[in-house]
Amino acid sequence: MFNFLANPARFNQVTDRLMPATAGLAGLFLSIGIISALIISPPDYQQGDTVRIMYVHVPSAWMALFIYSFIAITSAIGLIWRHPFAHLSAQAAAPIGITFTILCLTTGSLWGKPMWGAWWVWDARLTSVLFLFFLYLGFMALNKAFDDPSRGEKSAAILALVGFINVPVIKFSVDWWNTLHQPASLLRADGPAIHSSMLTPLFLMALGFIFVAVCVLVTRIKVLLLKRRIRLMRINGGKLRS
Amino acid sequence: MIEVVVEFIIMGGHAYYIWPAYIIATVGILGLWFFSIRELKYQKQILANLKEDISQKTQQRKCN
């Protein structure tokens, strides 16, 4: 897959064809998802209408974890097989991941205040997600910390791999420690604990978020490919002039 | 009809929390998309300028 798409011309050709459909699906799922979340889905018997925050909070949290896992996998590919496109993909995904982490933290805070009476508590789930935010920041900072881009890519990739330990910690934090945050409602051994009237908008919003993330990822990879090309042209131009 | 709309906006007394959550999510996602597309256009422009610059210099060299 990486070898097939590593050619910039082929990458642009494939993604240019798929982009309109992906963007259309993102718009479609988000539109239906928002209508279902705000109008069709019922209020919760305990939380009332505040449960509607779940439809933006939970998909944001999933995306934050999913994108970090993607970064860790592509970083591993970049380190093991020295594939420049892998590092590039990881670098392109980081701003998307950090945006979803910020969305997860802020919407969670807005949900926490009416439910727990506090905007923030230092419980295991919230603290580990905050740590994820700092991992994203560190990854992005390390990528730009060196004059030689390859050194930055390698350092950031190592951080991404070390930080991957935080992903299962986030997932199981609600089981391993006594937290104010509720335990898992979907990925449980005895099946989801959410009624289908709430599950449907949740999945629609999650699909919308996934398609948006794909569109933005493709755009950002194109930006980085162009930046690399411009850098190389400037270096070669400089050599010609000297 | 108006009562239904007002009830929807009030969100059971939790409008202060629900609407900001949706506004922040919408702004965050659309902002991410918008800035990425803007950056792509900007880089394409830089590349086009650079290509033009290089072709002009190549022509000048040929003339010299």
Q: What is the mean pLDDT of chain B?
A: 91
Does A86 reside within a domain? yes
B23 shares contact with chain A (CB less than 8 Å): no
* Whether complex ipTM tops 0.85: yes
Cβ-based contacts of B43 with chain A (< 8 Å): 223, 226-227, 230
Does A1 reside within a domain? no
Which pLDDT belongs to residue A63? 97
Among B8, B32, B39, beta carbon nearest to A223: B39
- Please tell me the total count of domains within chain A: 1
Does A238 reside within a domain? no
Q: Rounded to an integer, what distance in angstroms lies between the CA atom of residue A85 and that of residue A44?
A: 45
Which pLDDT belongs to residue A11? 87
Does A161 reside within a domain? yes
Which pLDDT belongs to residue A179? 85
Q: Cβ separation of B18 and A219 shorter than 8 Å? A: no
Question: Which residue's structure tokens are 């990486």?
Answer: A2
Which pLDDT belongs to residue A238? 56
State the residue range of the domain holding A83: 28-37+51-177
Position A242 confidence tier, pLDDT thresholds 50, 70, 90: very low
In order of A10, A156, A161, the CA distances from A75 in angstroms are 22, 8, 7
In order of A87, A95, A229, A230, A234, the CA distances from B46 in angstroms are 23, 22, 11, 8, 11
Angle of helix A196-241 versus helix B15-63 axis, rounded to 10: 20
Burial of A89 (0-12, 13-18, 19+ CB in 10 A): buried
Does A14 reside within a domain? no
Among B29, B43, B54, beta carbon nearest to A226: B43
Among A48, A99, A237, beta carbon nearest to B32: A99
Q: Cβ separation of A50 and B14 shorter than 8 Å? A: yes
B62 shares contact with chain A (CB less than 8 Å): no
In order of A83, A107, A237, the CA distances from B24 in angstroms are 36, 8, 44
Q: Say if CB A65 and CB A240 are below 8 A apart.
A: no
Burial of A197 (0-12, 13-18, 19+ CB in 10 A): exposed
Does A18 reside within a domain? no
- List CB contacts of B24: < 8 A, sequence separation 6 or more: A103, A106, A107, A110
Does A242 reside within a domain? no
> What does the pLDDT look like over A14-73, one tens digit per residue?
999 999 999 999 999 999 999 999 999 999 888 899 999 999 999 999 999 999 999 999
Does A126 reside within a domain? yes
Q: Cβ separation of A230 and B18 shorter than 8 Å? A: no
Q: Which residue of B has its CA nearest to A40?
A: B8
Which pLDDT belongs to residue B32? 94
Which pLDDT belongs to residue B53? 86
Task: Give the mean pLDDT of A104-127.
Answer: 95
